[in-house]
Amino acid sequence: MSNLLIKNGQIIDPANDINQIGSLYIVNGKINAIDNEPAGFKANQVIDAKNQIVCPGFIDLSTRLREPGHSRKATFKSETLAAASAGVTTMCLHPDTKPVIDTAAVAELIRELAGKANYPQIYPIAALTQKLEGTELSSMLSLKQAGCIAVGNANQPIKNLLILRRAMEYAASHDLLLMFRPNDYWLGNNGCAHEGAVATRYGLPSIPEAAETIALDQCLELAELTGCRVHFGQISCKRSVIKIHQAMKYGMDVSADVAIHQLHLTENDMVPFDSAYHVLPPLRTEADKHYLRQGLASGTLHCICSDHQPHDIDAKLGAFPETEPGISALETLLPLMLKLVTKHAITMEQGIAALSQNPARILRLESGALTPGLPADVCIFDPELEWQVNADNWKSRGVNTPFWGQTMKGRVTHTLQAGQVIHALKATVSQES
Amino acid sequence: MTKAIDNLQLNAEGKLKHFITIEGLGKTLLTEILDTAESFVGMTDQQIKKVPLLRGKTIVNLFFENSTRTRTTFELAAKRLSADVLSMSISTSSTSKGESLLDTIRNLEAMFVDMFVVRHGISGAAHFIARHTAPHISVINAGDGQHAHPTQAMLDMFTIRQIKKDFTALRVAIIGDILHSRVARSQIQALNTLGAAEIRVIAPKTLLPAHVETLGVNVCHNLNEGLKDIDVIIMLRLQKERMTSALLPSESEYFKCFGLTESKLKIAKPDAIVMHPGPINRGVEIESSVADGSQSVILKQVSNGIAVRMAIMSMAMQPQGGMQ
């Protein structure tokens, strides 16, 4: 019997409406009780979480770990270490690996890689269409049976709306969630920056908000038509927030997330031609950032994701439009969420719920809460601990982040996955009897 | 991108190190470039056209995109400053062989080059090279994507100043494909820095970037209205591929709406000058009789190009001991 006690921490569990200082008892990898010591409980391990927050482990809806196919950028080994150190206990993986996650074999390979990295809670998202080419349906049922948690087409376009309709109908038949990043390929026009003053000044190919909102509208209409459950990923602009809000008010079963960097950075923060700021969807305006924050506070946007995209150095070395988009984002996820709390954009409970309870509900996972009986996926963090984003403190293979060199406030001290300590910042785990 | 781009272009003493964009360079520096160019103009008319300012220096013209005029004037400018010049036209072939832009630069650096003059089809390429090249090397942007073409803008400013003397009273119209034009972006920045009274961009919406007014210009979609009270008319070249990408219906309709004809020229001030960065599409954006007419200064622009580029090259090499 393995018993673990986390004591003196401020336990915040939005799913159960708990926010109190107390003890968390973990027995055999499962949450057993809060404060009420189980009969005959004898701790093998005690973590003193004084002045720290104890909350459900984070569930990240949008990550890329670069295997299989791009191990030059990152590996399961490097990125699961990064995830563990960031308090992330569950990750969804986009299907744009090489090969694409469009067969059961590739899905099984991913589960195997996850097992080898001692980080089992990696869920592949199945390709919606074969090879992500947007023309023929993938074998969604087999993929679901092989462990895929949802379907999606990564950032690749679907050839036409008829195919999208059919794919959604088919996904709905097997009760599969569609994870959809709204982007009209043609309106996007291979752009690399928000269609605004900055792109105009620097002559950068630009992407209007309409590329997102039109694709969102179309997908909402098809969700209504097909009954497919849809989750919108990496929303970037004000009008998308308004449209999702309206759809929810109308009673549609839709949800949405926002990438953490979109809640902090705008086009005006971009250092001229610095590829660290090259992300898709692009960094937009102050008004967009404000609405995204409000959407999170009001519950229109349910989740925050890291949209983790580690890159090798070469991918970011070049003239801005020619570099690859994306930020290595797992490790700054928590401090950037906490910054939103400090700025009173959201409450601590909202921030934690957006990283645990809400994604669990959308994915229908038995986690994201500290309910007795659930696997003990737990994140313990010190909200005041300052650290610098530098090579000494960084685990991801990708150093492509615009926050490099900056001081962050708030750091994960322990991460537990099903009761196993998969990350401990310092030697605060003491052995008892 | 509010963070200062000029940190890259100027050295610790505020002197020109690279010349990537007009942005961030003050009026004093732009005026210094024009004044320096002035001193070279007289010289190029003489029998012996050379000065020894850059003797022993090696300049590499690195053209990833085709250009005859710009490359030739850069070459002549470098030769008249007594530098050793090497012109390389690098087609996309070497990049398709897998060599990155940075590899190309590093290889040339290893050959003890002092200055790169770079033209590249992607916005930000010159900036990227300047950021990553060895510290003793200067980079001059000879046009990058749709971003900037600052030497062209400066030779245009030089030509305008030669004829009109003072910028502050001038109303300037820039007509045509602003969206894809690095020349227009640099001209607008230079004219605003030098204090022009008004800059008007005249084009259909398909050829204007979003939020173009944020560049500090007035927008007009009608040539007849836009040419009123104008002192300087700058025509831009219209690329043929704009017709196939659904930006314009046809050359003839474009010429009808935005082509500069003799009768339309009369709408502008009687002493208005007509400019064009070249090469001209006769009968597409400009009528031959206007291009060759008395108000045209198009060829003057070309000859001024040499003096202005001499000025910029010698100033950028100054911190490296090019000009004592």
In degrees to the nearest 10, what's the CA dihedral of A381, A383, A385, A388?
90
Does the distance separating the beta carbons of A199 and B209 come in below 8 Å? yes
Q: What is the pLDDT of residues A161-184, one digit of tens each?
A: 999 999 999 999 999 999 999 999
Q: Which residues are within 8 A (CB) of A205 and not within 5 positions of it... i.e. 6 or more apart?
A: A189, A190, A191, A192, A193, A199, A321, B123, B146
| Options B15, B31, B58, B69, the catalytic residue | B69
Mean pLDDT of B195-222: 97
- For residues A378-398, give the mean pLDDT: 97
Asked if residue A368 belongs to a domain, the reply is no
Distance, in Å, from the CA atom of B150 to the CA atom of B159, rounded to the nearest integer, reads 14
Band (pLDDT 50/70/90 cuts) for residue A431 is very low
Print the domain residue range for A151. Answer: 57-363
Per-residue pLDDT tens digits for A100-133: 999 999 999 999 999 999 999 999 999 999 999 9
Structure tokens at B219: 């927008």
A321 touches chain B (CB under 8 A): yes
Residues of B in contact with A205 (CB under 8 A): 123, 146
How close does chain B come to A94, measured CA to CA in Å? 28
Residue A106 corresponds to which tokens in the numbers above? 């590739």
Output the average pLDDT for chain B. Answer: 91
The CATH number of whichever domain residue A105 belongs to comes to 3.20.20.140
Q: What is the pLDDT of residues A187-217, one digit of tens each?
A: 999 999 999 999 999 999 999 999 999 999 9
CATH number for the domain including A385? 2.30.40.10
Asked if A122 contacts A114 with a C-beta cutoff of 8 angstroms, the reply is yes
* Catalytic, out of B97, B165, B211, B240: B97
- Does residue A186 share a domain with residue A151? yes
A115 close contact with B: CB closer than 8 A: no
B73, B278 in Cβ contact below 8 A? no
Query: Within 10 A of A421 (CB to CB), how many other CB atoms are there?
Result: 16
In a domain, A196, yes or no: yes
Continuous segment of H or E residues that includes residue A378: strand A378-388
Catalytic residue among B17, B119, B127, B309: B119
How many domains does chain A divide into? 2
Asked if residue A369 is part of any domain, the answer here is no
Same domain, A47 and A171: no
| Side chain identity, residue B254 | Y
One domain, residues A93 and A146: yes
Predicted pLDDT of residue A432: 44
Chain B residue numbers with beta carbons less than 8 Å from the beta carbon of A273 are 1, 123-124, 127-128
- Work out the widest C-alpha separation in chain B, in whole angstroms: 56
- Looking at the structure, tell me whether residues A12 and A74 fall in a common domain: no
What value does the mean pLDDT take over residues B49-57?
A: 90
On whether both A140 and A252 belong to a single domain, the answer is yes
- For residue B95, pLDDT over 70 is answered with no
What is the pLDDT, as a whole number, of residue B104? 84
Chain A residues in contact with B145 by the CB 8 A cut-off are 203, 319, 321
In the three-class reduction of DSSP (H, G, I as helix; E, B as strand; rest coil), residue A376 is classed as coil
Contact at CB, B210 and A314, closer than 8 angstroms = no
**What DSSP designation does A32 have?**
E
Residues A267 and A398 in one domain: no
The shortest CB-CB distance from A195 to any of B2, B147, B210 is to B210
What is the per-residue burial (b if ≥16 Cβ within 10 Å, else e) of A261-276? bbbbbbbebbebbbbb
Residue-wise pLDDT for A356-381, tens only, equals 999 999 999 999 999 999 999 999 99
- The nearest alpha carbon in chain A to B8 belongs to A272
Residues A414 and A359 in one domain: no
pLDDT digits (tens, 9 = 90+) for A256-299: 999 999 999 999 999 999 999 999 999 999 999 999 999 999 99
Which residue in B has a C-alpha nearest to residue A208's C-alpha? B210
> How far is the C-alpha of A126 from the C-alpha of A103, rounded, in Å?
8
Is A199 close to B210, i.e. CB distance below 8 A? yes
pTM of the model: 0.93
Pick from B8, B25, B102, B123 the residue to mutate for testing the A interface (most A CBs within 10 Å): B123
Query: What order of strands is seen across the sheet that includes strand A88-93?
Result: A58-63, A88-93, A122-127, A150-152, A178-180, A230-232, A254-259, A303-305
Are residues A322 and A228 both part of a single domain?
yes
Q: Please tell me whether residues A227 and A85 are part of one structural domain.
A: yes
Q: Please say whether the dihedral angle defined by the alpha carbons of residues B88, B93, B97 and B102, taken in this order, is positive or negative.
A: positive
Question: Is A231 part of a structural domain of the chain?
Answer: yes
Residues A243 and A337 grouped into a single domain = yes
Assigned domain for A169 exists: yes
Q: Does B149 participate in catalysis according to the annotation?
A: yes
Q: How many CB atoms lie within 10 A of CB A404?
A: 15
Q: Are A66 and A58 in contact (CB under 8 A)?
A: no
Q: Give the number of beta-carbon pairs within 8 Å between A and B.
A: 86
**Which member of A314, A317, A321 has the closest CB to residue B124?**
A321
Task: Among A322, A323, A324, pick the best mutation site for testing chain B contact (most B Cβ within 10 A).
Answer: A322
State how far the Cα of A266 lies from the Cα of A256, in Å rounded to an integer. Answer: 20
Q: Is the domain of A294 the same as that of A424?
A: no
Through-space distance between the first and last CA atoms of chain B, rounded to whole angstroms: 36
Report how far residue A295's alpha carbon sits from residue A292's, in angstroms, rounded to the nearest whole number.
5
- Taking the C-alpha atoms of residue A90 and residue A61, their distance in angstroms, rounded to an integer, is 8
Sheet holding B232-235, edge to edge: B218-220, B198-202, B171-175, B232-235, B273-275
List domains and CATH numbers for chain B. 6-148+303-320 (3.40.50.1370), 150-301 (3.40.50.1370)
- With respect to residue A371, please indicate whether it lies within any of the assigned structural domains: no
Query: By CA distance, what is A271's nearest residue in B?
Result: B1
